[in-house]
Amino acid sequence: MVIPLFPLPQFVLFPGQVVPLYVFEERYRSLLARVQRSGEAFGMLQILTPSTEDPRPLESRLSAIGTLAHLRDVAPHEDGTSSITVVGGERFQIQALMTGEEYLLAEVELLPLQEDSSDQAPVIQRALTNRLVTDLLRLHPAEREAIVRHAPPEPLLLASFASVLLPLSGEERQQVLEAATLTDRLETLIGLVPVEARELN
């Protein structure tokens, strides 16, 4: 399928993540108008290197894997800009980029997480999510009540929740997004928890 792209530096959208965005560039105003008319999702993915460090065109500086963004709310402003809210959907992988419009378009293929082969996967994932929540509580002791209240019970959404709360670089967030299975994603996150917050075994 072909989707419009909204790339951002040092930003990775995760499945189920709700994100506010401010749309001010003319090309992305056009993108917003398109998705409001069509109801389609658009693709969010990371700009890997800034133009100040890499002279290549934008399409050569993008991650190959991103996440579908579904428009939830739009608040237009008098100056033509908009405040929007999106929620992350499925992952996708770029097959081909198209540069004919004001904004980038891409032929993409959906990239769902692979099924874990182990029969014990649900048990393993539950243990990993429990450990991850414990690590988050160690990392953010002042936010204990909020973390306990808002941590999703589903391992997939918990992984997205943790990805936002952990102090990760753009490269590390991309590594988490690209994990092949849900177990891999949870294990990757635990490996990225700062040493001082890790649960001692």
Q: Do the domain assignments include residue 116?
A: no
Q: Do the domain assignments include residue 130?
A: yes
- Per residue in 106-136, pLDDT tens? 999 999 999 888 888 999 999 999 999 999 9
Number of domains in the chain: 2
Q: Is residue 200 over pLDDT 70?
A: no
Query: Which residue range forms the structural domain that includes residue 139?
Result: 121-197
Identify whether residues 84 and 143 lie together within a single domain: no
Q: Do the domain assignments include residue 115?
A: no
Identify whether residues 26 and 61 lie together within a single domain: yes
pLDDT of 97: 93
SS (H, E, C) the chain: CEEEEEEEECCCCCCCCEEEEEECCHHHHHHHHHHHHHCCCEEEEEECCCCCCCCCCHHHCECCEEEEEEEEEEEECCCCCEEEEEEEEEEEEEEEEECCCCCCEEEEEECCCECCCCCCHHHHHHHHHHHHHHHHHHHCHHHHHHHHHHCCCCHHHHHHHHHHHCCCCHHHHHHHHCCCEHHHHHHHHHHHCCHHHCCCC
Identify whether residues 87 and 132 lie together within a single domain: no
pLDDT (average), residues 150-172: 95
Last residue of a domain, one of 110, 144, 179: 110
